Amino acid sequence: MAGVLSGIYSTFVRRNYVFLSTIFVGAFATQIAFNTGANAIWDSINRGRQWKDIKHKYMEAEDDE
């Protein structure tokens, strides 16, 4: 455990520029992951109700013409 922690410390925290970049990249990654997950849940709760679920009907109809 201590080895892992000190490993994390020396890789990510000891040099400030690495620490700062970790925070920035981590924030972006977390946000993207959270949004993707939350939107997926939302879309599954509302399956069939939103425009993106029904638009193929009207898009295809135009292609036929």
Partner 1 sequence: MLARSSLRASRALGATKTSATRTATRNASTQSSSESAGSWKNAALASSSTALAIGSVAWYYYQYGRPMHAMTPAEEGLHATQYPWEHEKFTKTFDHAALRRGFQVYREVCASCHSLSRIPYRSLVGNFMTVDEAKALAEENEYDTEPNDEGEIEKRPGKLSDYIPAPYKNDEAARAANNGALPPDLSLMVKARHGGCNYIFSLLTGYPDEPPAGAVVQSGLNFNPYFPGTGIAMARVLYDGLVEYEDGTPATTSQMAKDVVEFLNWSAEPEMDDRKRMGWKVIAVGSVLFAISVWVKRYKWANIKTRKMLYNNPYAQQNATKHPGSVHRR
Positions 2 through 61 that interact with partner 1 (CB under 8 A): 34-35, 38-39, 42, 45-46, 49-51, 53-55, 57-59
Look-up: residue for tokens 């109700």? 49
Quick count: other Cβ atoms within 10 Å of Cβ 45? 8
How far is Cα 45 from Cα 53, in angstroms, rounded to an integer? 12
Binding residues for partner 1, how many (CB under 8 A)?
Answer: 17
Report the number of secondary-structure helices (H) and strands (E) in the chain.
Answer: 3, 0
Nearer to partner 1, 5 or 59 (CB): 59
Instruction: List interacting residues with partner 1 (CB under 8 A).
Output: 34-35, 38-39, 42, 45-46, 49-51, 53-55, 57-59, 62
